[in-house]
């Protein structure tokens, strides 16, 4: 393979990631720098289009979200068992930290966050979710996650199936596990793999997916795109690599090693909508933060983080520890990058809707994938 072709393929692969990045790579999240990086006009344009912001509002939001990452990590550390979750409030530009102990409020506010007193700690809510994870969910249940705003575990059921006996029985079981709030959705989640079509994707068998992030030795992507041992072809159809590890359902992540003639670069493709993004780390963005996605079908789109640690109940089985976003996606975007600023967030798994009428998409957090396979994120 010519050098230019290999570079294009490697870059195209990485361009499918859209997450936050810090100066540190690997399984540990890195705190972003004190000053926000230079923001491209393309990124600001995308935030204005997808989030309805002015240029000034987009700049201020990125600055505030970067500060919120640091504040959330410190608030979690100093509050211990009183910590009940946190989220970024776009209307105020501040992080809100939920607490079960009034005595912790002053210390958290001194960090620059707002506080909310609640009944259940994050540990208690995680316990409730773990008990739900042990139950077998029927197809009419879309998923569940810990929601710090409502201080409960939110259980989502498909509206058309809400009266089915199996769904009603599961809801009753769920409510017995702890504080559970039931909501409805019109759509069931599905994965975003697709049949072979043109573009700059990768292929395995007759399936097209998107590259997530470069790691030293290869890239990470979605597990439902291929099983361990499966051969991978690049955007030009030539042999690119092999799935070394893959998990789906339960998880939705995979590691692909690449052959000689291909190499990795710390880049996520902007598809001409924004300049290609350098990846500088993997600091995790809070709930409410803006986030963007790159994929080989619908390319570059942005939205916000809606929930974390959600169990998504696909038709193939439940997948745990997912992050839900308001970003749209379509078939073939699976495995692609989620990025916030210059920080890698995760790889696209599935969702509902499309990029014409809108929808929601889940991603598997990248730090979990790095830890699972002992990988090091390739950073700039």
Catalytic positions, written as ranges: 224, 252, 334
Reduced to 3 states (helix: H, G, I; strand: E, B; else coil), residue 30 is coil
Instruction: State the distance between the two ends of the chain, measured CA to CA, in whole angstroms.
Output: 25
Q: What angle do helix axes 55-79 and 41-51 make, rounded to 10 degrees?
A: 80
CA-CA distance, 204 to 225, in Å (whole number)? 7
8-state DSSP, 136: P
Q: Do residues 121 and 84 touch, judged by C-beta distance below 8 A?
A: yes
In the chain, the largest separation of any two C-alpha atoms, in whole Å, equals 63
Which has the closest alpha carbon to 199: 4, 7, 13?
Answer: 13
Block residue for tokens 């080989």: 296
Strand partners, 280: none
Token pair of 239 as six digits: 């042999």
CB contact at 8 A, 211 and 13:
yes
What is residue 197's DSSP assignment? -
Q: Does the bond joining 249 to the residue before it have cis omega, within 30 degrees of 0?
A: yes
- Where helices occur in the chain by DSSP H, the ranges are 3-14, 41-51, 55-79, 105-110, 122-133, 165-175, 366-373
In degrees rounded to 5, what are phi and psi of residue 312?
-105, 125
Provide the β-strand partners of residue 215: 218, 377
């Amino acid at each position: 393979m010519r050098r230019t072709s290999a570079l294009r393929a490697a870059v195209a692969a990485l361009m499918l990631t859209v997450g936050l990045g810090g100066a540190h790579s690997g399984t540990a999240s890195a705190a972003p720098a004190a000053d926000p990086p230079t923001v491209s006009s393309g990124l600001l344009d995308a935030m204005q289009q997808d989030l309805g912001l002015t240029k000034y509002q987009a700049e201020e939001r990125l600055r505030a979200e970067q500060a919120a990452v640091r504040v959330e990590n410190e608030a979690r550390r100093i509050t211990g068992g009183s910590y009940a979750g946190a989220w970024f409030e776009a209307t105020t530009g501040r992080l809100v930290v939920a607490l079960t102990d009034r005595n912790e409020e002053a210390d958290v506010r001194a960090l620059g966050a707002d506080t909310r007193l609640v009944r259940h700690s994050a540990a208690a809510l995680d316990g409730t979710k773990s008990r739900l994870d042990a139950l077998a969910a029927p197809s009419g249940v879309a998923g569940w996650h810990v929601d710090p705003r409502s201080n409960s575990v939110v259980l989502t059921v498909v509206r058309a199936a809400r009266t089915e006996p199996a769904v009603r029985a599961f809801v009753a079981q769920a409510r017995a596990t702890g504080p559970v709030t039931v909501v409805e959705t019109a759509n069931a989640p599905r994965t975003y793999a697709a049949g072979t079509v043109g573009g700059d994707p990768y292929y395995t068998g007759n399936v097209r997916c998107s590259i997530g992030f470069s790691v030293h030795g290869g890239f990470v992507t979605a597990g439902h795109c291929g099983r361990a041992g499966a051969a991978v072809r690049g955007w030009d159809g030539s042999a690119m690599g092999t799935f070394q590890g893959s998990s789906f359902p339960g998880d939705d992540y995979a590691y692909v090693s690449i052959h000689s003639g291909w190499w990795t670069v710390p880049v996520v493709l902007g598809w001409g909508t924004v300049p290609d993004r350098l990846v500088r780390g993997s600091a995790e963005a809070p709930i409410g933060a803006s986030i963007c996605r790159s994929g080989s079908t619908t390319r570059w789109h942005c939205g916000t983080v809606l929930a974390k640690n959600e169990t998504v109940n696909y038709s193939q089985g439940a997948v745990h520890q997912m992050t839900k976003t308001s970003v749209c996606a379509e078939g073939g975007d699976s495995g692609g990058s989620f990025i916030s600023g210059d920080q890698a967030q995760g790889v696209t798994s599935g969702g509902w809707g499309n990029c014409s009428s809108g929808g929601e998409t889940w991603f598997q957090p990248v730090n979990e994938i790095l830890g699972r396979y002992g990988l090091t994120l390739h950073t700039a």
